[in-house]
Structure 1
Amino acid sequence: MATQVINSDNVTPGGAIDIDQDQKLSDAKVTSADEDDELNHEIDPKEERAFVWRLDLIFLTIGFLGYTFKYLDQSNISNAYVSGMKEDLKLYGNQLNYFTTYFNIGYMIMLYPSCIIISHIGPSVWLPTLEQVYGIRFLIGFCEGATWPGYYTIISQWYLPHEIALRMAIYNIAQPTGAMLSGAMQGALATNLQGSLGRAGWRWAFIVNGALTIFIALLVFFVIPGFPDRQNPLTKWYLKPRHIEIARARSRRVGRKPQRPIVPKSFLRAFSFWQLWAFAISWAIGGNTTPGNYYNLWLKSLKNPNGTLTYSVGLLNYLPLIGQAIQLVCELGFSGLSDFFGTRLPFLLAHSTINIASLIILIIRPKNRHTYMAGWYLNYVGGVSTMLITAWASENLEAEPEVLTVLFASGTILSYLQSGFVPIAAYPASQAPNWHIGAKLYLGFAAVALTMFIGIHFGLKWEAKKKAEKLAEEERESTASGTEAVDHVQGYFVDKV
């Protein structure tokens, strides 16, 4: 015999029991539970793995290529500078720093509008549209401002917490890959196409880069999946209805809410979360890879005893590839291991140790050239912190997708503010190769970031404890409310008897 559950919701003010209302509530709860069970339990593990592989193979591949050429756009200016552009355009002051600054200004202006637009129309239209527009550095940065927060928002909606860091790393290694490709392309073109059709080799790099980027951008329209609850119609060729069911069930499994359009109220509300500020600030100062961007300027300053340059133009572009390769391997290794062990802090502490060691070497400037080069190369490891921080934020804000999207934009803005303006004072090109405050300033950033990583860890533990206490209190109140309702009903029947 079924037992009728009695609570305060189905007892009328007069004391009568609304059995119909109770039945409706019970049926609704059962139906909802059955739907959730059906979505969760009908997914075969093999079917789920096949779905994740499908996403990895198609979505991550095109995302990787898109970001590779995006970063190639961004980094080719530095390689062109040491490959003849400086002399051709007579850039003998701090113009290289200003090129980067103007790019970053455009990039930062577009970040918040882009995260809001993406939440309304979806990334499948917005991202590839902007990737096709080229002009001066400001417009390139302006149009690329949607890329980072857009792709990371997509990854945070389709993958589970234990999958996110590695996928973000797979996407983000496009950054060192783009830099490596830029260096290799610039070195090859400077050697083989110098003077072809009356153009310098560094100019050909911009032409080739632009053509390839437009091609990739057109493909993106047919590959970016949108969100699980708002699929891009052009992706139905590889994401069938069953795949969308699996994606939604996976989101329910971890308590993730669907991405909703960001409105002024939800946008402003995001800034009331301490997690947004903590993660965004530590993101901006945690990497400290800016010194590595000036490695090729130090290399260019080296001369042989007879006064000739130690390294050729080709080697000036090829030697930094070693650092970018180190960054690539470390991002995959640190992120994959952090996903496997389900923890972020130990890997952030390891990153900080390496980062601080590299900056100390750069401050000391040892006379041994190879030791000094090791300091430059170790600095590239700093890039792993971004993946760990964003994954850490994603798994702790599953129920707040709008906050997470604004966090991605905020962290990127602060990061670009730091990399766009601080180097003007810390690493002016006119002081190369003996910068006065560069590595010292970034060592300070690294120390603050290390403190913040530890603070975030304890802050999240405190937050989890507070939520657990709140749930326990609500459960006690619910139990007490149910007991009062039962006592009231029993008294009602006693009076009737």
Structure 2
Amino acid sequence: MAYYGDSKVVDVKGFDADPPDIGRAATSSDEDLADPIQAKPKRKWQSYIWDSLDKSPEERRLLFKLDAAVLTFATLGYFIKYLDQININNAFVSGMKEDLGLYKNQLNYMQTCWTVGYVIGEVPSNMILTRVRPSIWIPAMELTWTILTFSLSRCNSASSIYALRFFIGLAESSFYPGMQYVIGSWYRRDELAKRSCIFHTASAIGSMFSGYLMAGVYHLGGKGGLKGQVFWQWLFVVDGIISLPIAISGFFLLPDVPEITRAWYLTPDERAYAQKRMQLEGRADRAPYTKAKFKKIFTSWHIYALAILYTTFNNAGSGVSQPTFAQYLKDSKDPKYTISQINTYPTTTYAVQIVSTLTYAWTSDSIFRGARWPPIVFGGVVSIIAYASLAVWNIPVGWHWACYIIAGCGGGLSGLCMAWAHEICSGDNEERAIVVGTMNELAYVFQAWLPLVVWQQVEAPEYHKGFVTSACLAAAMIVTALVIRVLWKRELAKKRKVGAVA
């Protein structure tokens, strides 16, 4: 046994024996709350490259298996989800608009139909995951949206696309909050941000790949009975072909959660090892839903503050998720850009997002000692500068391009927000599932109607209202992050005081 004051914790080979509730999981990253008696031994320099390099061979082997399975499936699954999500924009600017006569706000309506389906499904899906095996539920939903994506290639009217986009959004709603829940069920605090952010980079990779894919299928136009004028339908066919094997792999790769895992690649000792890791982290097991639990969840500041943080982050980044850069290029008369250039040049924004996302993860886990708020503030400041400049519009062409590109720095914060939520809600499994689902859901509730107001297609490419809104939301995100930091410090201080008295 290992003892800390009156707290008793089982010391397991290869682990730091921290008290579950007031140890590593609950310890603030701020130096003024650091408790030397519970502090982890000084980290080796190798851990700043990758966190498992200074851990025991047993733990390193477990983490390697988890990363190979969970991160592979998570990133590939999110890649195809974002490939589908962004392909509707690329198809629109690459001929679908002209083919189907979409000259009003039909693109906004297509995006809104997807968002409505996504919003409806998120929280119920995450609640299902606390009762049904993730290795069954999540891949089954992936198969569903793969089939529906194939169907998009045969749509010949806006109304048929609206219907399919709604059901695709409903099926996709299980993936991101669901996989964040799974990731938060396996990894400790010094591991979590990197995994969450690596997972999130797949969204930018999918967005980039969609542009290259659109350029790559250019010569498929007219084949297989699909539209010969612009080839946009082939985009959805290729999307479905890529998605199918990834969806099937989920049935074999997902390990569920530690307490019920039956993963074929984990030994019985490794399963017990994984469960003990989460106990030492203070990560609670599954428990029944009760009135008392719901009351606790919805009377806490956790769900409201974290949902506001994620909502402001997500919608501040709509200046990137909307095809603003592509429409700016499409509207250009001198020089005139080709369809391939219109699809590929905006991928530079997603390249910046990938680099910034990984930078945030490594600096948050190492330089900032687990603090999540500094990168969030930095990303918000860059977003304010970029979107405020674009709102002015009459700026030098070089700076115009630069603003579209550096706006990607604001899109890499999702993993940090989710990692912070897992840490704050560590003590209640059901709260963690509901909070993560609510964060994503509220973000998309706003995304369902906000583009119809501030990103109207008829105002392209200037989008003055949209850029002003994004700048204001980035400022609100910064304020919310600082408020959460204060509330979290107070809660940790209170836990320490209670622990000291006990």
What TM-score range do you get, normalising by the shorter chain? 0.7 to 0.9
Say whether 1:249 aligns with 2:260: no
Cα distance in 1, alignment partners of residues 90 and 294 from structure 2: 38
Say whether 1:298 aligns with 2:328: yes
Q: CA deviation at 1:267?
A: 4.2
Counterpart AA for 1:83: S
CA deviation string 1:388-418 (max 9, x = no partner):
1111121222112211111111111111122
> For residue 310 of structure 1, what is the aligned residue in structure 2?
336
Counterpart AA for 1:395: E
Counterpart AA for 1:209: D
SS state at 1:131 partner: helix
Cα distance in 2, alignment partners of residues 62 and 125 from structure 1: 13
> For residue 26 of structure 1, what is the aligned residue in structure 2?
none
Q: CA deviation at 1:385?
A: 2.2
Q: CA deviation at 1:198?
A: 3.0
- In the alignment, which of 482, 488, 502 is matched to residue 454 of structure 1? 482
Cα distance in 2, alignment partners of residues 402 and 139 from structure 1: 26
Counterpart AA for 1:202: W
CA deviation string 1:67-86 (max 9, x = no partner):
11111111110000011000
Which segment is superposed worse, 102-111 or 252-261?
252-261
Cα distance in 1, alignment partners of residues 396 and 498 from structure 2: 59
Cα distance in 1, alignment partners of residues 187 and 116 from structure 2: 31
Counterpart AA for 1:206: F
> For residue 289 of structure 1, what is the aligned residue in structure 2?
317
Q: Which has the larger radius of gyration?
A: 1
SS state at 1:259 partner: coil
Counterpart AA for 2:102: L
Contact 1:149 1:412 in 2 (8 A): yes
Which segment is superposed worse, 434-443 or 109-118?
434-443
Cα distance in 2, alignment partners of residues 254 and 408 from structure 1: 18
Contact 2:135 2:250 in 1 (8 A): yes
Q: CA deviation at 1:192?
A: 1.5
Normalising by structure 1, report the TM-score.
0.84
Contact 1:286 1:450 in 2 (8 A): no
Cα distance in 1, alignment partners of residues 102 and 435 from structure 2: 37
Contact 2:389 2:395 in 1 (8 A): no
Say whether 1:177 aligns with 2:205: yes
Counterpart AA for 1:240: T
> For residue 467 of structure 1, what is the aligned residue in structure 2?
495
> For residue 67 of structure 2, what is the aligned residue in structure 1?
56
- In the alignment, which of 80, 100, 113 is matched to residue 124 of structure 2? 113
> For residue 88 of structure 2, what is the aligned residue in structure 1?
77
Say whether 1:360 aligns with 2:371: no
SS state at 2:395 partner: coil
Q: CA deviation at 1:259?
A: 2.9
- Alpha carbons of structure 1 residues 181 and 267: separation in structure 2 relative to 1, 3 Å: farther
- In the alignment, which of 258, 262, 265 is matched to residue 285 of structure 2? 258
Cα distance in 2, alignment partners of residues 337 and 176 from structure 1: 20
Cα distance in 1, alignment partners of residues 138 and 292 from structure 2: 25
Cα distance in 1, alignment partners of residues 136 and 358 from structure 2: 29
> For residue 488 of structure 1, what is the aligned residue in structure 2?
none
- Alpha carbons of structure 1 residues 299 and 79: separation in structure 2 relative to 1, 3 Å: same
- Alpha carbons of structure 1 residues 449 and 41: separation in structure 2 relative to 1, 3 Å: closer
CA deviation string 1:39-80 (max 9, x = no partner):
666997121012111111222112111111111111110000
> For residue 322 of structure 1, what is the aligned residue in structure 2?
348
- Alpha carbons of structure 1 residues 436 and 353: separation in structure 2 relative to 1, 3 Å: closer
- In the alignment, which of 11, 14, 37 is matched to residue 37 of structure 1? 11
SS state at 1:311 partner: coil
Q: CA deviation at 1:469?
A: 2.4
Q: Where does 1:423-462 land on structure 2 (aligned, <5 Å)?
A: 423-462=451-490
> For residue 339 of structure 1, what is the aligned residue in structure 2?
365
Cα distance in 1, alignment partners of residues 446 and 291 from structure 2: 27
Structure 2 unmatched ranges of 5 or more: 1-6, 18-54, 149-163
Cα distance in 2, alignment partners of residues 381 and 77 from structure 1: 23
Q: CA deviation at 1:212?
A: 2.0
Identity of aligned residues (%): 31
Q: Where does 1:142-221 land on structure 2 (aligned, <5 Å)?
A: 142-189=170-217, 191-200=218-227, 201-221=231-251
Cα distance in 2, alignment partners of residues 368 and 38 from structure 1: 61
Which segment is superposed worse, 250-259 or 174-183?
250-259
> For residue 107 of structure 2, what is the aligned residue in structure 1?
96
Structure 1 unmatched ranges of 5 or more: 1-31, 476-497
Which segment is superposed worse, 58-67 or 141-150?
58-67
Which one has the bigger helix percentage? 1
Contact 2:70 2:183 in 1 (8 A): no
CA deviation string 1:258-282 (max 9, x = no partner):
1335456534542222011101111
- Alpha carbons of structure 1 residues 105 and 318: separation in structure 2 relative to 1, 3 Å: same
Cα distance in 2, alignment partners of residues 322 and 40 from structure 1: 42
Which segment is superposed worse, 192-201 or 449-458?
192-201
Counterpart AA for 1:37: D
Normalising by structure 2, report the TM-score.
0.83
> For residue 480 of structure 1, what is the aligned residue in structure 2?
none
SS state at 1:132 partner: helix
